[in-house]
């Protein structure tokens, strides 16, 4: 299927981007869009023959040089593309003569860029010309170009000049000194050196002519800095002549003698077709791991692959001393500098599909630690302070001033270099996630730990203790939202610093236990003392975080709520960000955001459900901050993240709109700055939006699990993820029951059946996910085992369900469901509510809806609406809502030294426990975020036992639902059922309630169970 791209003359197929018309007004943005590369270098999609005011560029990872006084930048390397065609004396170029037909294609499958056209010269000769090029993924030092020339209506002379242009510029500045050039039996070569950094480059090229009636001879032209291979031949009408140009390139970063290496490599290479085949094979291997298949939305199907392609060609496969710049290797934007964009936005794609590349990206930060240490020392701090913008050494390369377009205007100070310090926690965040996903202990102990610990030392010296508040503060910063400078106690920065210190302590303890020699070495190297570690713990406990516990609304930074509130809709329509509209001084005083800040924090804490993330905080923060975020022209980093959070909130339409805004940022140039280079962070965010947002991937101890909510129209979503050494395949479909409730629905069907059938095996699709059908396919229920428990049980742990056991939230759930049902016009009463006991939210909704048909978006919205009603009712809960006997038994168990856990399917369990005032009586919580499978699967209780550090056979589960009792028995635990025997009769002990229950009496009952049941 094909779809037409808006105003860009684009057609999208599954794998190929087709441009149908050349538009000179879009020259520079299209050069970006048609970038190719191979992880070593990237080449913009400029024309081989050139074009007035074009911006051709080839960027090689790590080749940086200084512009005196101003900045360091990634260097535009010699242009390998140059191929001039002269037809009977007329030089072929698109701004002269007449273009009769034009077609340009980028084939993502093989990284192959091609262009075909029919051109009539000023003299009236018509010729078909086609170009094809690729940067070999099989050998990163090999580049190849092929041109087909077919005269249409004439016989005549054609001259071809194939050159290396040694005079590339970075927007007016030439970084190269000429060293030498020459010819060999193979062709030509060029030697250059960067002026300041003294990086040497060697490039060699050879040309082959095919299809001429007589052999075309090649002449070498060695004009200084512009070596060429030239040939002239007689062309016949309707006969095709092919020109193959093969180029090799090396730099002194990877080899001592780059010129010799380039020459030797060139001599060993075969023809274009052979090189192309090797390249295609290499790409096939990459797409086997990284492809995402989308059916039902052809634009998204191509555009997602396009964004992945642009990241894949910028990713260093064989070099761990470089990283991906914010604009990848595709443009001059941000001077090729590396930001937090790489770790937070781009790295997850590689972490879960190409983990070796993820390791390379993080190793770059380890290699640049000394630069981060120099920056910290410069500002008077300890440890490592990572640069906001980084290049080779890790020293700060953010320009100090931005020069405006107004010649008489004042330059603008760029404060990010001084104040945007959250990157110091963002990098450890990525390192921690890499470790969790790969289990790469070797890399962690040799490199990752040093980065995490040294960056943590910085926080210890950066925070300030406020004796009046008895709190630690971080003052004078810029948060993720860059519209506000010099703010105090930015929520994102403070919480990320706290999180970082928490993980630094965990890593340090892990090192001491598992790699004591490495721990000692780092203690000495970093001057890491017990006092420092104690200081970290104090900061963790006392850092200031501004939020309202009753509403869970987080204040972005101190005083944000006192700023002027403006309505962004009043400024529409517009074609620029709010900062130039309001001015820097004005926007600092308004509640308008460049990009998500609090919402970004919630997203980073989302996967692990760490504070402050929970459903209420997300809803509250969304309602407040989303309308105040300049999502259209602020930062391109925002839309993809907001798409994920909107999806979480059941805002399906809004999620898809945000997703498409991010998805098409370069293909449609919807911000007007694609000419600067690919929006790398947005491309990485796209991958996360598809996988974590629409695919609903959650990471568990047993691997990634899908809880899909596909956008309307998407009929299929297929991808694979690498997790702890194993590949996990996912093949998701529209309307598919999310994995976390599939077993429950199947079990419900069985339990409600008069004659439950028996089945030998689970029905599943090839992806490993439960297959969806309507009604659900029944499977064998979880076995209600009669475990061989000891005669005198050595009970070490108790796991309590919440609802109906410690408190009675059933009434709150009933009122919430009742309100929803009334709004939807669905009959619902207390008798119907009884069938929902122990059932997950979605399964409950499905039972309420019965045969009524609703879209996935409507289902998501209803679930969230019900939860919102429930959370509102829950706010009034207090310790008075504990059921009789609950607090007495909890206190007695604690006095007996027994560990206490909570095993509740609710995702609000943490909040309920806090409202009831029993948080200090609980040692572990297993809730709806903890495991893949809900009750009656044993997973929740097994997880709780693991958190308690107690063997399953030493645990007692207290439940009031049949599904919970079955789960306890399946886990090999003791089961105490509360309620009527017809509901919980499978439990070892059945009680009416906890009122009057003593531990000694209960232990006696349990001791007699095995003898009675035998």
Residues marked as catalytic: 482
Give 774-780 contacts, CB < 8 A, sequence gap 24+. Answer: 774/735, 775/749, 776/737, 776/742, 776/745, 776/746, 776/749, 777/746, 778/746, 778/749, 778/750, 778/753, 779/743, 779/746
Phi, psi of 797 (to 5 degrees): -145, 145
Do the Cβ atoms of 968 and 805 come closer than 8 Å? no
- Burial label, 198 (beta-carbon count in 10 A; 0-12, 13-18, 19+): exposed
Q: Which two tokens stand for residue 311?
A: 């990241």
Distance (Å, whole) CA 446 – CA 403: 42
**Total length of the chain:** 1014
Bridging pattern class, strands 703-705 and 974-978: unpaired
- 335-350 burial code (b ≥16 CB/10 A, e <16): bbbbbbbbbbbbbbbb
Bridging pattern class, strands 293-295 and 241-251: unpaired
3-state secondary structure of 620: helix
Distance (Å, whole) CA 320 – CA 338: 14
| C-alpha 74 chain-centroid distance | 25
From first CA to last CA, the distance across the chain in angstroms is 66
- Burial label, 270 (beta-carbon count in 10 A; 0-12, 13-18, 19+): exposed
Handedness of CA 58, 64, 66, 72 (dihedral sign): positive
DSSP codes joined into one string, 968-1014: HHHTT-EEEEES-HHHHTTSSEEES-STT--HHHHHHHHHHHHHHH-
What one-character DSSP code corresponds to residue 776? P
Among candidate residues 380, 417, 422, the one with its CA nearest the CA of residue 396: 417
Do the Cβ atoms of 960 and 976 come closer than 8 Å? no
Q: What is the largest CA-CA distance in the chain?
A: 107
What one-character DSSP code corresponds to residue 264? H
What one-character DSSP code corresponds to residue 803? B
Give the H/E segment covering residue 12.
Answer: strand 10-12
Distances (CA, A) of 394 to 323, 496, 590: 11, 21, 34
Cα torsion through 229, 230, 236, 240, rounded to 10: 20
Among candidate residues 897, 913, 890, the one with its CA nearest the CA of residue 949: 897
Distance (Å, whole) CA 828 – CA 836: 12
Among candidate residues 454, 456, 487, 457, the one with its CA nearest the CA of residue 473: 487
Bridging pattern class, strands 924-926 and 899-903: parallel
For the chain, the C-alpha Rg in angstroms (whole number) is 32
Distance (Å, whole) CA 644 – CA 684: 13
Among candidate residues 31, 58, 41, the one with its CA nearest the CA of residue 175: 58
Among candidate residues 350, 428, 437, the one with its CA nearest the CA of residue 687: 350
Do the Cβ atoms of 647 and 693 come closer than 8 Å? yes
């Amino acid at each position: 299927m094909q779809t037409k791209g808006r105003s860009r003359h684009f057609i999208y197929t599954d794998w190929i981007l087709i441009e149908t018309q050349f538009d000179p007004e879009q020259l520079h943005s299209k050069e970006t869009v048609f970038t190719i590369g191979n992880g070593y270098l990237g080449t913009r999609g400029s024309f081989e023959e050139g074009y007035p005011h074009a911006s051709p560029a080839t960027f090689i990872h790590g080749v940086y040089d200084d512009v005196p006084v101003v900045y360091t930048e990634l260097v535009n390397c010699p242009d390998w593309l140059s191929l001039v065609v002269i037809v009977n004396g007329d030089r072929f170029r698109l701004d002269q003569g007449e273009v009769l037909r034009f077609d340009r294609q980028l084939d993502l499958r093989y990284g192959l860029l091609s262009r075909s056209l029919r051109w009539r010269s000023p003299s009236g000769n018509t010729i078909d010309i086609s170009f094809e090029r690729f940067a070999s993924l099989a050998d990163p030092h090999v580049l190849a170009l092929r041109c087909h020339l077919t005269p249409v209506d004439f016989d005549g002379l054609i001259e071809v000049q194939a050159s290396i242009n040694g005079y590339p510029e970075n927007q007016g500045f030439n970084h190269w000194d000429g060293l030498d050039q020459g010819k060999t039996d193979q062709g030509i070569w060029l030697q250059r050196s960067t002026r300041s950094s003294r990086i040497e480059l060697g490039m060699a090229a050879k040309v082959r002519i095919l299809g001429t009636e007589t052999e075309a001879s090649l002449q070498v032209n060695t004009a200084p800095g512009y070596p060429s291979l030239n040939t002239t031949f007689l062309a016949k009408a309707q006969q095709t002549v092919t020109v193959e140009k093969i180029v090799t390139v090396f730099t002194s970063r990877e080899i001592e003698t780059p010129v010799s290496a380039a020459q030797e490599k060139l001599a060993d290479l075969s023809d274009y077709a052979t090189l192309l085949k090797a390249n295609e094979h290499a790409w096939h291997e990459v797409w086997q791991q990284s492809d995402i298949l989308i059916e039902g939305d052809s634009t998204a199907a191509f555009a997602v692959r396009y964004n992945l392609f642009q990241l894949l060609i910028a990713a260093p496969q064989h070099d761990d001393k470089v990283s991906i710049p914010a604009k990848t290797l595709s443009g001059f934007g941000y001077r090729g500098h590396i930001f937090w964009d790489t770790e937070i936005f781009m790295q997850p794609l590689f972490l879960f599909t190409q983990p070796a590349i993820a390791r390379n990206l993080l190793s770059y930060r380890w290699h640049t630690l000394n630069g981060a240490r120099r920056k910290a020392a410069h500002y008077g701090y300890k440890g490592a302070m990572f640069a906001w913008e980084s290049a080779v050494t890790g020293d700060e390369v953010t320009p100090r001033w931005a020069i405006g377009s107004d010649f008489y205007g004042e330059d603008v100070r760029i404060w990010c270099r001084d104040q945007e310090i959250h990157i110091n926690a963002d990098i450890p965040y990525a390192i921690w996630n890499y470790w969790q996903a790969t289990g790469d202990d070797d890399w962690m102990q040799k490199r990752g730990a040093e980065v995490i610990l040294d960056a943590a030392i910085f926080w210890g010296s950066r925070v300030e203790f406020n004796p009046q508040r008895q709190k630690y503060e971080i003052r004078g910063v810029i948060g993720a939202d860059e519209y506000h400078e010099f703010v105090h106690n930015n929520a994102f920065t403070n919480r990320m610093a706290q999180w970082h210190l928490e993980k630094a302590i965990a890593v340090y303890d892990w090192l001491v236990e598992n790699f004591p020699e490495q721990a000692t070495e780092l203690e000495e190297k970093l001057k890491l003392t017990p006092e420092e570690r104690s200081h970290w713990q104090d900061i963790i406990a006392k850092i200031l975080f501004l939020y309202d516990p009753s509403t869970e609304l987080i204040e972005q930074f101190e005083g944000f709520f006192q700023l002027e509130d403006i309505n962004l809709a009043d400024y529409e329509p517009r074609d620029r960000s709010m900062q130039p509209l309001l001015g820097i001084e004005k926007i600092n005083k308004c509640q308008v955001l460049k990009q998500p800040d609090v919402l970004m924090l919630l997203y980073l804490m989302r996967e692990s459900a760490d504070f402050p993330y929970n459903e209420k905080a997300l809803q509250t923060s969304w309602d407040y901050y989303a309308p105040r975020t300049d999502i259209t022209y602020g930062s391109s980093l925002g839309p993809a993240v907001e798409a994920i959070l909107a999806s979480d909130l059941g805002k399906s339409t809004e999620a898809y709109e945000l997703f498409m805004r991010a998805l098409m940022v370069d293909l449609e140039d919807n911000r007007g700055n694609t000419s600067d280079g690919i929006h790398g962070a947005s491309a990485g965010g796209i991958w996360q939006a598809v996988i974590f947002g629409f695919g609903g991937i959650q990471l568990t101890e047993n691997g990634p699990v899908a809880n899909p909510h596909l956008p309307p129209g998407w009929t299929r979503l297929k991808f694979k993820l690498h997790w702890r050494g194993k590949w996990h395949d996912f093949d998701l479909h529209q309307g598919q029951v999310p994995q976390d409730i599939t077993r429950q629905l199947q079990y419900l069907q069985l339990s409600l059946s008069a004659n439950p059938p028996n089945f030998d095996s689970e029905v599943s699709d090839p992806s490993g996910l439960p297959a969806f059908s309507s009604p659900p396919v029944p499977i064998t229920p979880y076995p209600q085992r009669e475990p061989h428990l000891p005669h005198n049980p050595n009970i070490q742990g108790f796991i309590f369900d919440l609802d109906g056991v410690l408190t009675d939230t059933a009434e709150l759930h009933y009122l919430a469901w009742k309100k929803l049902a009334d709004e939807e016009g669905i009959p619902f009463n207390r008798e119907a509510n009884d069938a929902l006991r122990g059932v997950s939210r979605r399964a409950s909704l499905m039972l309420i809806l019965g045969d009524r048909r609703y879209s996935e978006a409507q289902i998501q919205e209803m679930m969230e609406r019900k939860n919102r009603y429930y959370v509102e009712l829950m706010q009034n809960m207090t310790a008075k809502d504990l059921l009789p006997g609950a607090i007495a038994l909890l206190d007695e168990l604690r006095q007996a030294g027994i560990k206490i856990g909570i095993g509740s399917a609710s995702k609000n369990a943490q909040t309920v426990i806090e409202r009831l005032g029993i948080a200090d009586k609980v040692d572990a919580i297993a809730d709806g975020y903890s495991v893949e499978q809900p009750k009656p699967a044993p997973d929740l209780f097994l997880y709780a036992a693991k958190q308690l550090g107690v063997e399953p056979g030493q645990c007692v589960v207290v439940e009031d639902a049949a599904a919970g009792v079955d789960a306890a028995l399946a886990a090999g635990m003791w089961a105490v059922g509360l309620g009527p025997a017809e509901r919980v009769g499978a439990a070892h002990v059945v009680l009416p309630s906890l009122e009057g229950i003593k531990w000694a009496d209960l232990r006696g009952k349990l001791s007699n169970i095995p003898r009675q049941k035998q």
